[in-house]
């Protein structure tokens, strides 16, 4: 769908991605401002894998701020890939796109500085996101200084606590969780190393200004 300012992609009644026609790299949906903190927590990544292409909004952001990185998008749906190529790639950014199921593709990925999970169907996450062994494979796919990033939409009470416990058990570290005001989304960051403190406002504010991130869209949990 499209109006004078935006083009957007829906699955059923759910808006999956929005493109600002005048500024394609702008992060329109609020949860993307949370995902963008990945470049603050893990600066200058050289190898990035994104599970879930959607309309490519985060790919356009990465193209602007990490142009030298090798970026792979794993997307299960061939119609989604067609929509990205046809309607949501105005600057002809060239991520490597692999059509595959994320639960299978993760076994063939390694040495990633950023691994981003943004996986949704029409109503819910795929079932493997509720399986601890999937996160073990994700963490094994990271480089020594790699960062795992998840956009979650917890559907059940306790699901976020379960995920935090799994990631803490696997990494030995407490994960960082960011909420989105007015939305159910939670953005979760996990690594084998201690993550920078997002409460240190001065450097975070400087980063946000340089990357056009709206910190008012975020709540540190």
- Quickly state the pLDDT bin for 92 (edges 50, 70, 90): low
CB 209 within 8 A of CB 217: no
- CA distances for 130 relative to 38, 135, 158, angstroms: 22, 9, 12
Which pLDDT score, from 0 to 100, does residue 121 have? 60
135 within domain boundaries: yes
Output the 3-class SS for 81-126.
HHHHHHHCCCCCCCCEEEECCHHHHHHHCCCEEEEEECCCCCCCCC
33: domain CATH number is: 3.40.50.150
CB 146 within 8 A of CB 176: no
> Looking at per-residue confidence, does 13 or 197 come out higher?
197
59 within domain boundaries: yes
* CA atoms within a 13 Å half-sphere pointing along the CA-CB vector of 152: 25
Which pLDDT score, from 0 to 100, does residue 14 have? 81
**Count of domains for the chain:** 1
10 within domain boundaries: no
Which pLDDT score, from 0 to 100, does residue 15 have? 86
121 within domain boundaries: yes
The distance in angstroms from the start CA to the end CA of the chain is 34
From CA 29, how far away is CA 18, in angstroms rounded? Answer: 7
Q: Which of 32, 10, 12 is nearest to 185 (CA)?
A: 32
Q: Which of 77, 144, 142 is nearest to 116 (CA)?
A: 142
3-state SS class at 15: strand
From CA 27, how far away is CA 18, in angstroms rounded? Answer: 8
34 within domain boundaries: yes
Q: What is the pLDDT of residues 20-30, one digit of tens each?
A: 999 999 999 99
Token pair, residue 126, equals 């795929």
Average pLDDT along the chain:
93
Which pLDDT score, from 0 to 100, does residue 11 have? 82
Which pLDDT score, from 0 to 100, does residue 182 have? 92
- CA distances for 81 relative to 17, 55, 57, 108, 144, angstroms: 13, 8, 13, 20, 31
Q: 167 is in which domain, residue-wise?
A: 27-220
200 within domain boundaries: yes
Q: Which residues pair with 14 in a beta bridge?
A: 11
CB 196 within 8 A of CB 42: no
65 within domain boundaries: yes
6 within domain boundaries: no
């Amino acid at each position: 769908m499209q109006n004078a300012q935006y083009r957007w992609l829906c699955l059923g009644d759910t808006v999956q991605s929005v493109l600002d026609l005048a500024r394609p790299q702008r992060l329109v949906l609020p949860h993307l401002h949370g995902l963008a903190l990945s470049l603050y927590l893990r600066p200058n990544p050289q190898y990035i894998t994104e599970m879930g292409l959607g309309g490519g909004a985060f790919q356009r952001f990465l193209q602007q701020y990490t142009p030298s990185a090798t970026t792979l998008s794993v997307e299960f749906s061939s119609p989604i890939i067609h929509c990205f190529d046809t309607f949501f790639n105005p600057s002809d950014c060239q991520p490597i796109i692999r059509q595959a199921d994320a639960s299978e593709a993760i076994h063939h990925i390694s040495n990633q500085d950023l691994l981003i999970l943004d996986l949704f169907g029409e109503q819910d996450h795929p079932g493997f996101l509720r399986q601890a062994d999937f996160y073990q494979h994700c963490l094994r796919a990271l480089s020594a200084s790699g960062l795992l990033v998840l956009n979650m939409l917890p559907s059940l009470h306790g699901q976020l606590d379960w995920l935090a416990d799994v990631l803490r058990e696997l990494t030995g570290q407490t994960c960082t969780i960011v909420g989105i005001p007015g939305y159910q989304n939670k953005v979760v960051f996990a690594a084998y190393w201690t993550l920078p403190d997002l409460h240190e406002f001065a450097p975070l504010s400087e980063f946000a200004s340089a990357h056009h991130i709206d910190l008012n869209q975020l709540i540190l949990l």
